[in-house]
Chain A
């Protein structure tokens, strides 16, 4: 039975679904990377994802328009981000705790809306697979990388884009300086408030999109608490990836590949208790954090509210 794991079809299957499964983590964790690089820990990602997943699904269900669903999910996430920005930037609220507040709000709100507007679990026709001409014909590689749906491609394109913005543009420099030394950035005329507003709202938007990618591109259903901790994992992946988009990609892929492996172990009926298998990615993440985290330094101003000395 174990040998089944090493047949070509199964290996391709594991890689293909691993690539797919990383999608929501990538969106959410890249967004979180931006806010943390500017010094703000957003722990409300899970709540933003849940509301994004619900609104994206509901709009698609009622209008049949997938792109409208994506748009609304991003808007809802952006609104949650706006609220979070106001609370943490203007009111200097403790970031970790207000994040938990936003998580509970999103958890309850998405459940409430689901029960009131839908009542039962329904399914939609999600984003279809797009076979990239030429590339998808390459044996094995084509199947794994170039036969996915548009939101999956989007998530992977986001990584180099985020890297470029953070490391090669003036705006990225502003974000990083605000996260490392807001006082110095402020004295050089960078608006700490504006930069943080931007990154937190961007984080919310991408978290909303992450939720939608789950409900209308990967699973094509909405259920109460369907993210079940994915938003928190996304936050963990930012630490894991040492605050760099490429590192985040590595973490998301590792986590998703192990997850995909355990799903396939269950599909193949290999006698590992499913509960123990589901545990694997979490245990692995802790182990990798132990090995890597101590070597990298977090943005200096992370979780510290900025206040001008008058």
Chain B
């Protein structure tokens, strides 16, 4: 009974962390001389207040979920991928290019090709970081940060030059954007809102990633490498190969997020010079969503919706009570800090359990560790 209560407490931890962050936000709002109730009310209405608002929230949640799925894979392999933004950009570039070149093909063919292109583009960008880590020992945090910066400049270069909208190329303004995709290539809308097929794709993929991680040998090995690379190596798993694979797949899902953003929402690529101008910082917010979902693909669905809601609601809060939406970025940061900090209780309990097991099977204390951590997941 007690253990079930504790399990419930663990599951509620992220929610408690969010509430704590919102409470800090309320104090900040008071300092800004804004009524927190009014502000949070407008945030709620903006995110869930109408069919359109709800659809916007789901549309915003989609890239977050896709990035989060990739994060579930890489973080489970103990590989920290913070290159989501860059991988989204490369995926989007490849996918958009396909849509601009194959104009004579039927819509479903181009959409399929573009999604595959996005998947592959992100995968290559992530895979490079994977190769650098596995074979040259370059820390993946650093390489993915560098690769983000390179991807942004590549996007700026292509959108100002080779891929610029032909009509913009003739104008003096030369807005750095591609031509608009043909209507036939847009991801189909689901209901008369901006809700598009990408939302469903993301949810289906969440289930597939769950199956991959917990129902296949491949997934088992990815997780084993993350839990204990040395033991995995002794067990005959080629650790380096799985490190590359984890970043390859992680990048692929971010790339998909980028292409879905183009084919489902913007219908073209446009740059303001920065990464977040295109991605909306989904590469980072997706990490937040995945952590919040305890690196579980299915739990990442509600987590992404929550953060999608916060981002959409932040815009309405900005309109209604004139609080910059940057407040929500700051609060997202606090949520991350609170969630990782709260892990301490779970780990402490785990260790207490471990101590009990150690006493019981004193002959093999070392081996007791792995199955317990395994059971906790």
Evaluate contact between A289 and B138: CB separation under 8 angstroms.
yes
Instruction: Give the contact stretch, choosing among B93-101, B326-334, B357-365.
Output: B326-334
Q: Give the total number of A-B pairs whose CB atoms are below 8 A apart.
A: 145
Could you tell me the distance between the alpha carbons of A94 and B344 in the complex, rounded to whole angstroms? 10
Which residues of chain B come closer than 8 Å to A85, judged between CB atoms? none
Q: In the docked arrangement, what's the CA distance between A166 and B344, Å?
A: 31
Q: B287 at the A/B interface (Cβ < 8 Å)?
A: yes
- Output the nearest chain B residue to A278 by Cβ-Cβ distance: B153
A285 in contact with B146 given A97-B291, A107-B333, A108-B328 (CB within 8 Å): yes
In the bound complex, do residue A104 and residue B330 qualify as a contact, i.e. CB atoms below 8 Å apart? yes
8 Å CB contact of B329 from A83, A111, A233? A111
* 8 Å CB contact of A104 from B142, B154, B336, B343: B336
CA distance A34 to B138 in the complex (A): 20
Q: Quick check: is B197 within 8 A (CB to CB) of the other chain?
A: no
CB A155 to nearest CB in B, in angstroms, measures 21
Interface residue tally of chain A, by bracket? 35 or more
B307-336 at interface with A (beta carbon < 8 Å): 324, 326-336
Given the known interface contacts A93-B343, A112-B324, the answer about A101 and B337 at a Cβ–Cβ threshold of 8 Å is: yes
CB distance from A256 to the nearest CB of B (A): 15
Q: Which of B48-56, B155-163, B206-214 contacts A (4 or more CB under 8 A)?
A: B155-163
A194 at the interface (CB under 8 A from B): no
In the complex, per-residue mask of A254-288: 1 if CB is within 8 Å of any chain B CB, else 0: 00000000000000000001011011001101100
A112 touches B330 (CB 8 A): yes
- CB neighbours (8 Å) of A83 from chain B are 337
**Which B residues are CB-close (under 8 A) to A198?**
none
Output the least CB separation between B341 and chain A (Å).
Answer: 4
Also in contact, A279 and B149, with CB within 8 A (given A104-B330, A239-B139, A293-B139): yes
Please tell me the number of chain B residues within 8 Å of chain A, measured between CB atoms: 48
Query: From B158, which residue of chain A is reached at the shortest CB distance?
Result: A275
Against A, the Cβ 8 Å flags (1 = close, 0 = not) of B89-126 are 00000000000000000000000000000000000000
Known: A96-B80, A108-B331, A112-B326. A275 touches B142 (CB 8 A): no
A213: min CB distance to chain B, Å: 21
Contact of B330 among A98, A108, A279 (CB under 8 A): A108
Instruction: Say yes or no for A225: interface residue by CB 8 A criterion.
Output: yes
Instruction: Write out the residue numbers on chain B whose beta carbons fall within 8 Å of the beta carbon of A111.
Output: 324, 326, 329
Once the chains bind, are A115 and B332 in contact (CB under 8 Å)? Answer: no
A15 interface residue (CB < 8 Å to B) = no
Q: Say yes or no: A279 contacts B154, CB within 8 Å.
A: yes
Q: Which of A87, A96, A98, A275 contacts B153 (CB 8 A)?
A: A275
Residues of A within 8 A of B284 (CB): 100, 103-104
Choose from B274, B288, B330 the contact partner of A228 (Cβ within 8 Å).
Answer: B274
Asked whether, in the complex, the Cβ of A94 is within 8 Å of the Cβ of B343, the reply is yes
B347 at the interface (CB under 8 A from A): yes
Instruction: Report yes or no: B329 in contact with A87, Cβ–Cβ below 8 A.
Output: no
Q: Does A102 belong to the interface (CB within 8 Å)?
A: yes
The smallest beta-carbon distance between B134 and chain A, in angstroms, is 11
Contact A87 B324 (CB under 8 A): no
Contact A93 B344 (CB under 8 A): yes
Known: A235-B141, A276-B153, A282-B146. A101 touches B324 (CB 8 A): no
User: Most chain-B CB neighbours within 10 Å: which of A100, A106, A276, A285?
Assistant: A100
Given contacts A236-B142, A286-B146, contact A93 B340 (CB under 8 A): yes
Residue of B nearest to A276 (CB): B157
Query: Contact: A87 with B337, CB < 8 Å?
Result: yes
**Does A28 reach chain B (CB closer than 8 Å)?**
no
B244 nearest CB across to chain A (Å): 15
In the bound complex, residues from chain B placing their C-beta under 8 Å from that of A184 are: none
Closest Cβ of chain A to B358, distance in Å, is 12
Q: Which residues of A contact B23 (CB under 8 A)?
A: none
In the complex with contacts A91-B341, A279-B153, A282-B150, A108-B145 CB distance below 8 A = no
Q: B136 contacts A109, CB within 8 Å?
A: no
Is the CB of A153 closer than 8 A to any CB of chain B? Answer: no
Does B132 lie at the interface of the complex (its beta carbon under 8 Å from any beta carbon of A)? yes
Min Cβ gap B187→A in Å is 29
User: Judging by beta carbons under 8 Å apart, are B347 and A275 in contact?
Assistant: no
A273: contacting residue among B145, B161, B328, B332, CB under 8 A: B161
A93 contacts B341, C-beta separation under 8 Å: yes
12 contacts between A and B (CB under 8 A): A87-B341, A91-B341, A92-B343, A93-B340, A94-B343, A101-B340, A104-B330, A104-B333, A108-B326, A108-B327, A115-B326, A275-B160
Binding site for B on A (CB under 8 A): 43, 47, 83, 87, 91-94, 96-98, 100-109, 111-112, 115-116, 224-225, 228-229, 232-233, 235-236, 239, 273, 275-276, 278-279, 282-283, 285-286, 289-290, 293-294
Top 4 nearest A-B pairs (CB, nearest first) are A108-B329, A108-B330, A101-B336, A105-B333
